[in-house]
């Protein structure tokens, strides 16, 4: 189907879901996101896509190479391109102004699709276990109410709602399931809904990541769910690392790095590799000697026995955490000899102990670029900070919160097939 369908991305984050839909041929009208750094990432990416369409990606290369500043880069694209990213927290007070801005961007056109999902922390099983009130009363539990307001106003043909699997079991103060309340509300808005739990590793992503993908269709039809086509590339996680330069803890650069010749196929088929633009963000965080000693133990244990480290098995001199009855796998290697890694989450922004590089000679945690590849972001995707100074923490946070681009692409491809 050769349609140029447009979409609005709510709670857009760094744009993993959006990037997948763009690659499938959908056209973004606007993105709404509360995180300032993620908004700049989206603006930079929207500028890239505009330049790509107009055959001027050398300007993007100039920016990645540090030859021009971010404001100078933005001057090369129409104001509406960067202005299509709305930096706002969606809520009762902000909704009128967000509507005003989206209305201006949509113009007289119909809006075909809305994608996105509210922040997952309130529904996350881990988030609930760590919160003394189990997230009850957290306002993020009710952001779906505002999602419904967008459905009422713009009446898209479809919407795609993404969230963690904990959404299926999260309950309000009265014991009612949020998920049921959401679906009832969406039905009141005129949408039948269908959902599946999708595992990213079933679709070519080299990472275990389960997500609820709820799809709504306007009207009363059923049996429309766009179940993506599965893909098993038959490779191991080492495909993520094999062409990146070897660096130690605290080494590497946020700007362009020199990658090796890649002789595989997965990076190309997954849409990651781009030979024409620089690869950025291959910079490892520094570590103290104690952490590095633990890292060596973790990797050696995996290499010898294919066993994960139990924190309590460490020598006493290396055990500094007080809580020793939970999260005993807090030090974990991203094993290169497995078909997929464990889930990349936003906690990677705080420390890299759960994401240790498999090469003991490098002895470090993974870089933002390596994490981005596990999330199937293209190598030419640049992660911004709020102030324009490259920041590893905001980059990691954006990557950990994202939807894998390849999973989004698979969903988008199938949605186009079933479109009215």
Q: Report pLDDT digits (tens) over 104-152.
A: 999 999 999 999 999 865 655 454 344 444 445 556 579 999 999 999 9
Contacts made by residues 120-126, CB under 8 angstroms, sequence distance 24+: 120/163, 120/164, 120/166, 120/167, 120/401, 122/170, 123/163, 123/164, 123/166, 123/167, 123/170, 123/178, 124/164, 124/166, 125/164, 125/165, 125/166, 125/169, 126/166
Nearest to 165 by CA among 134, 120, 205: 120
Provide the residue ranges of all domains of the chain, joining segments of one domain with +. Answer: 6-231+402-418
At 324 the pLDDT is 81
Helix (H) / strand (E) containing 322: none
- Strands 85-87 and 27-33, bridge-based pairing: parallel
Q: Is residue 120 among the annotated active site residues? A: yes
Centroid of chain to Cα 61 = 23
Considering the segment(s) 6-231+402-418 as one domain, its CATH architecture is: 3-Layer(aba) Sandwich (3.40)
Rg (CA), the chain: 22
Produce one character per residue of 163-187: b if its CB has 16 or more CB atoms within 10 Å, e if not. Answer: bbbbbbebbeeeeeebbebbbebbe
Instruction: State the pTM of this model.
Output: 0.94
At 1 the pLDDT is 46
Residues of the chain with pLDDT under 70: 1-3, 120-140, 420
- Strands 27-33 and 113-115, bridge-based pairing: unpaired
At 2 the pLDDT is 52
C-alpha angle 7-273-378 in degrees, rounded to nearest 5? 35
What pLDDT digit, counting tens, does each position of 346-379 carry? 999 999 999 999 999 999 999 999 999 999 999 9
At 327 the pLDDT is 82
Report residue 284 as tokens: 């490892």
At 139 the pLDDT is 67
Q: How far apart are CA 286 and CA 72, in angstroms?
A: 32
Q: 354, 343 in Cβ contact below 8 A?
A: no
Backbone angles phi, psi at 113, to 5 degrees: -150, 145
Residues 6 or more apart whose CB falls under 8 angstroms from that of 260 comprise 242, 243, 244, 245
Active-site residue, from 39, 120, 189, 257 = 120
Alpha-carbon torsion (61, 66, 71, 76), positive or negative: negative
């Amino acid at each position: 189907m050769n349609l140029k369908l447009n979409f609005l991305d709510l709670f857009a984050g760094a744009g993993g879901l959006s990037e997948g839909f763009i690659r499938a041929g959908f056209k973004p009208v606007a993105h709404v996101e509360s995180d300032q750094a993620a908004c700049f990432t989206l603006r930079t990416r929207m500028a890239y896509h505009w330049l790509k369409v107009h055959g001027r990606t050398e300007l993007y290369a100039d920016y990645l190479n540090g030859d021009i500043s971010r404001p100078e880069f933005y001057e090369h694209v129409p104001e509406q391109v960067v202005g299509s990213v709305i930096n706002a927290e969606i809520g009762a007070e902000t909704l009128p102004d967000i509507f005003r801005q989206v209305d201006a961007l949509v113009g007289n056109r119909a809006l075909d699709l809305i994608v996105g999902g509210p922040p997952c922390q309130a529904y996350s099983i881990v988030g609930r276990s760590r919160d003394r009130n189990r997230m009850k009363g957290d306002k993020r539990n009710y952001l779906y109410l505002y999602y419904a307001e967008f459905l009422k106003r713009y009446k898209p043909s479809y919407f795609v709602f993404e969230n963690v699997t904990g959404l299926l079991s999260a309950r309000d103060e009265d014991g009612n399931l949020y998920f049921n309340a959401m679906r009832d509300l969406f039905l009141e808005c005129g949408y039948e809904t269908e959902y599946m739990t999708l595992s990213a590793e079933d679709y070519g992503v080299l990472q275990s990541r389960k997500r609820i993908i709820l799809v709504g269709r306007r009207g009363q039809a059923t049996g429309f769910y766009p179940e993506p086509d599965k893909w098993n590339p038959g490779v191991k996680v080492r495909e993520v690392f094999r062409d990146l330069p070897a660096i130690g803890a605290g080494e590497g650069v946020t700007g362009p790095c020199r990658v090796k010749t890649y002789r595989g196929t997965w990076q190309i088929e997954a849409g990651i590799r781009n030979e024409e633009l620089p690869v950025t963000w291959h910079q490892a965080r520094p570590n103290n000697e104690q952490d590095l000693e633990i890292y060596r133990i973790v990797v050696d244990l995996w290499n010898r026995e294919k066993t994960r480290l139990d924190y309590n098995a460490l020598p006493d001199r290396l055990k500094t955490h007080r809580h020793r009855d939970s999260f005993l796998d807090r030090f974990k290697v991203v094993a290169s000899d497995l078909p997929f890694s464990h889930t990349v989450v936003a906690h990677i922004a705080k420390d890299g102990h759960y994401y240790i590089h498999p090469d003991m000679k490098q002895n470090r945690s993974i870089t933002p670029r390596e994490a981005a590849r596990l999330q199937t972001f293209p190598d030419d995707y640049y992660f911004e900070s709020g102030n324009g100074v490259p920041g590893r923490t905001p980059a990691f946070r954006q990557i950990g919160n994202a939807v894998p681009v390849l999973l989004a692409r698979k969903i988008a491809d199938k949605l186009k097939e079933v479109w009215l």
